[in-house]
Structure 1
């Protein structure tokens, strides 16, 4: 999988599609660089790999727009103003570069998926099993991108086929419900088309259980209380649907709970029994590594530890509140966070940083070249989401407690009883810190406003954060998109 996705993907993208640059200005379907590319199974394999390659920005997108947005990090702005500081401070506007990159990165990947889906046929890919797999993979990746878009921006343009510039400029924002309809249809189809597992070089590709797990997450997101009209949460009460999907994954026997927390994230244990789906990365100067370890840690830490790469700045702090939430003896704290360090000049730096994905001996050729995969869905998440659905559907309290205690035991903590929704949410916070889930968890459970405002009162020492309000559940539509055709897109409330 790593060879397939990482070597072919970058080359294929440039040949398949034109520049997107946030404007959906893909080459029209009549362009020979698209139509004439697809001749046989190998061409479609390369095209699907290009779609996987589009997931390379998924980890940083969720670092900037979920972790930094949440109570897990305090990034108020020091040493200059970076694009993520307004995200942290709830002062972000439509001109922020992170908004345009999130939008355009998702749509670039969607266009790659649409290219496959528009062109695949039995005459070009005669093997039905292979054809189904390619179709299912494209639908899975497209659904994942639309799920990001609807959670970050609400309703967005629904584009299911390759379109030219003129056509793109007439497509307005679809409703949140319409986008969810497409996401659900794609994931349901993918679950029917994809295999249960892979072997050899294909290990790491999307499976039917990955599709069902993300679909369960979709149902959980839709089910929570509505705080914002046109937001991603619909009070749909689909907990039973999520429960049944998660139980299928649990009962499949394909996944095993790993009892050593650190082993889940080992560079030598990627695509392990905990992995339902993860973004694949490979170091070695091929342009297919990840920047995440260097993005989370400061250059001064790297230099002090003789790691010959650097990050952009020293100011992405883990919040004191997150650190204090870990009980004494919780092994996840020491694995996830570095609590201060001595720099190369012998000075102690009294700041906290995420180090979850760092192996000091496994750096690549530069700061963007770390060979550690990034989890999108772990088996532990499947179990904890299942426990959550049991709480909402009148399930067994003992079963809920048993799941949470399995996670706590691995963390070195004593068992507890009577787990409720708040207890579960805090356990998820500690377990999945730095994995990009926290903001989404707060939004879908209806806790974003109350939790964030209470957190600000304790954490915002610099007094630079605006109070959290319902409108800030969504981000602003990028100004680059609004400028394409004035009046086509309306701006989200509050911006």
Structure 2
């Protein structure tokens, strides 16, 4: 799959000048040719997955880059290289082709591809019913995942569900609540269309549980706690289980993985995260390392500190870096990029139960994650105490994964208190990323977030 579909991603990314209005001749997924056979239609969807992963750090939204950049923006990571001081200071550069531009633009290109696929699949009369249903479910899921990521980074964003470039050329921003409605609608459709079985090996494409896992997160963010619990229930009743050994969690055949993305670089068979955190050799400096606040947040005896964090002495100072991914890029394929996994579902259900005053159920779910980490059961017994304990558990379980910490600080209303204490340059406006200037210049109806004009 890596090389076979790599050319699709390359073609998709060669003309990325204005992602809301791609050149119709160069970028359109032509339904008259692509969606006439099961094979070509499947290739088109596989091409979307491939384009999501293709690129180096900061050149795409979906290859794990969010773990780095939103780790800088929150309280997780420092930058020894001093390459991204704007992210560490939460004064993100929004001119030129800085990473912020690519996070926005590649997400929109993925949405464009999904819209074109949904249109082509819906109109096609020559596909087998099972393939058409599966591919439609995947396209709806990918679009939902893209919009969920965008609105949590930028707030109100242009909402388009069509590949019509003329209609998309002058879109204004849509309130996050409406974007969330679209995300929920797409995930509900995907949950119905997709089957419980994966359409390929290694959990690299969406099935029903993938859609439900993301829907559980979306409902939690919306404070729809009963719905969040119900969706997490479905996933936790599925074929997954917490891996007893922490070293096995991020392996490509892990029973905990719900969805992961396949690396597509010609030079790498494994997740790119290894190279973003691991020093090049024993004498080189650290790269992107854990902040003292994160490194010091693990309880005594927490196996995640010894299994997923590596101490690195360098020139008289001990740094700590994330080591969830330990397989070098050129090694045999062992670790793909994990996006959704079961531990998060336990923590989603724990939080949803706590808000509904099911305190024993919340503690049980929280303790499932704590027990795997070698920790005793929580001592929290009140709603407030459990919510605090769950927030802490999310911090030490999901660190450097897909911006979880950044999103958690924002949705719980604690971001100003936490980052205002740690960062002298912090302002409340920084909790939304700036809209790239190139996109604003191209769209007369697109406005900037407060604090960046």
How does the TM-score come out when normalised to structure 1? 0.82
Cα distance, 1:271 vs. partner? 4.2
- The alignment partner of 2:6 has SS state of helix
- The alignment partner of 1:317 has SS state of strand
Q: Is residue 240 of structure 1 aligned with residue 226 of structure 2?
A: yes
Unpaired stretches in structure 2, ≥5 consecutive residues: 54-59
- The alignment partner of 2:73 has SS state of coil
Cα distance, 1:484 vs. partner? 0.8
What CA distance in whole angstroms lies between the structure 2 residues aligned with 1:429 and 1:488?
Answer: 38
What residue in structure 1 maps to residue 243 of structure 2?
Answer: 258
Q: Is residue 46 of structure 1 aligned with residue 43 of structure 2?
A: yes
**Is contact 2:302–2:374 with CA below 8 Å preserved after alignment?**
yes
Cα distance, 1:378 vs. partner? 0.9
Q: How has the CA–CA distance of structure 1 residues 108 and 249 changed in structure 2, closer, same or farther, with 3 Å as cutoff?
A: same
- The alignment partner of 1:325 has SS state of coil
What residue in structure 2 maps to residue 8 of structure 1?
Answer: 4
What residue in structure 2 maps to residue 272 of structure 1?
Answer: 254
What residue in structure 2 maps to residue 161 of structure 1?
Answer: 162
What CA distance in whole angstroms lies between the structure 1 residues aligned with 2:317 and 2:64?
Answer: 25
What CA distance in whole angstroms lies between the structure 2 residues aligned with 1:157 and 1:122?
Answer: 25
Q: Is residue 304 of structure 1 aligned with residue 282 of structure 2?
A: yes
What CA distance in whole angstroms lies between the structure 2 residues aligned with 1:36 and 1:254?
Answer: 38
Cα distance, 1:183 vs. partner? 0.9
Cα distance, 1:15 vs. partner? 5.4
Cα distance, 1:35 vs. partner? 4.1
- The alignment partner of 2:296 has SS state of helix
Cα distance, 1:95 vs. partner? 1.7
Cα distance, 1:125 vs. partner? 4.3
Cα distance, 1:151 vs. partner? 0.5
Which residue of the other structure, out of 456, 464, 479, is the alignment partner of 2:437?
A: 479
- The alignment partner of 1:420 has SS state of helix
What residue in structure 2 maps to residue 291 of structure 1?
Answer: 272
**Is contact 1:363–1:371 with CA below 8 Å preserved after alignment?**
no
What CA distance in whole angstroms lies between the structure 1 residues aligned with 2:92 and 2:321?
Answer: 23
What CA distance in whole angstroms lies between the structure 2 residues aligned with 1:51 and 1:447?
Answer: 35
What residue in structure 2 maps to residue 447 of structure 1?
Answer: 414
Q: For each residue in 1:183-214, what CA deviation from the matched residue of structure 2 results, as whole angstroms up to 9, or x when unmatched?
A: 11110000000011227637431111111111
**Is contact 2:141–2:211 with CA below 8 Å preserved after alignment?**
yes
- The alignment partner of 2:30 has SS state of helix
Query: Which 10-residue stretch deviates more, 381-390 or 316-325?
Result: 316-325
Query: Which 10-residue stretch deviates more, 34-43 or 207-216?
Result: 34-43
Cα distance, 1:122 vs. partner? 7.1
Cα distance, 1:48 vs. partner? 0.2
What residue in structure 2 maps to residue 467 of structure 1?
Answer: 426
Cα distance, 1:482 vs. partner? 0.8
Question: 1:307-326 counterparts in 2 under 5 A?
Answer: 314-326=286-298
Q: Is residue 391 of structure 1 aligned with residue 354 of structure 2?
A: yes
- The alignment partner of 1:7 has SS state of coil
What residue in structure 2 maps to residue 363 of structure 1?
Answer: 329
What CA distance in whole angstroms lies between the structure 1 residues aligned with 2:350 and 2:92?
Answer: 35
**Is contact 2:91–2:430 with CA below 8 Å preserved after alignment?**
no
What CA distance in whole angstroms lies between the structure 1 residues aligned with 2:365 and 2:316?
Answer: 40
Cα distance, 1:372 vs. partner? 2.1
What residue in structure 1 maps to residue 177 of structure 2?
Answer: 177
**Is contact 1:153–1:477 with CA below 8 Å preserved after alignment?**
yes
- The alignment partner of 1:430 has SS state of helix
What CA distance in whole angstroms lies between the structure 1 residues aligned with 2:269 and 2:50?
Answer: 8
Q: For each residue in 1:135-162, what CA deviation from the matched residue of structure 2 results, as whole angstroms up to 9, or x when unmatched?
A: 0001100110111110111111112121
**Is contact 1:8–1:46 with CA below 8 Å preserved after alignment?**
no
**Is contact 2:203–2:257 with CA below 8 Å preserved after alignment?**
no
Which residue of the other structure, out of 70, 76, 82, is the alignment partner of 2:74?
A: 70
- The alignment partner of 1:328 has SS state of coil
Unpaired stretches in structure 1, ≥5 consecutive residues: 224-237, 457-464
What CA distance in whole angstroms lies between the structure 2 residues aligned with 1:8 and 1:47?
Answer: 12
**Is contact 1:275–1:377 with CA below 8 Å preserved after alignment?**
yes
Residue-pair matches, total: 438
Q: How has the CA–CA distance of structure 1 residues 323 and 16 changed in structure 2, closer, same or farther, with 3 Å as cutoff?
A: closer
What residue in structure 2 maps to residue 382 of structure 1?
Answer: 345
What residue in structure 1 maps to residue 311 of structure 2?
Answer: 339
What CA distance in whole angstroms lies between the structure 2 residues aligned with 1:370 and 1:68?
Answer: 28
What residue in structure 1 maps to residue 400 of structure 2?
Answer: 434
What CA distance in whole angstroms lies between the structure 1 residues aligned with 2:330 and 2:157?
Answer: 37
Q: How has the CA–CA distance of structure 1 residues 448 and 271 changed in structure 2, closer, same or farther, with 3 Å as cutoff?
A: farther
Which residue of the other structure, out of 397, 420, 441, is the alignment partner of 2:386?
A: 420
- The alignment partner of 2:111 has SS state of helix
Q: How has the CA–CA distance of structure 1 residues 180 and 288 changed in structure 2, closer, same or farther, with 3 Å as cutoff?
A: farther
Q: How has the CA–CA distance of structure 1 residues 467 and 400 changed in structure 2, closer, same or farther, with 3 Å as cutoff?
A: same
- The alignment partner of 2:242 has SS state of coil
- The alignment partner of 1:278 has SS state of strand
Cα distance, 1:432 vs. partner? 1.2
What CA distance in whole angstroms lies between the structure 2 residues aligned with 1:17 and 1:340?
Answer: 37
What CA distance in whole angstroms lies between the structure 1 residues aligned with 2:356 and 2:418?
Answer: 24
Q: Is residue 400 of structure 1 aligned with residue 362 of structure 2?
A: yes
**Is contact 1:213–1:382 with CA below 8 Å preserved after alignment?**
yes
- The alignment partner of 1:185 has SS state of helix
Cα distance, 1:289 vs. partner? 4.9
Q: For each residue in 1:33-57, what CA deviation from the matched residue of structure 2 results, as whole angstroms up to 9, or x when unmatched?
A: 7244313111111110011113314
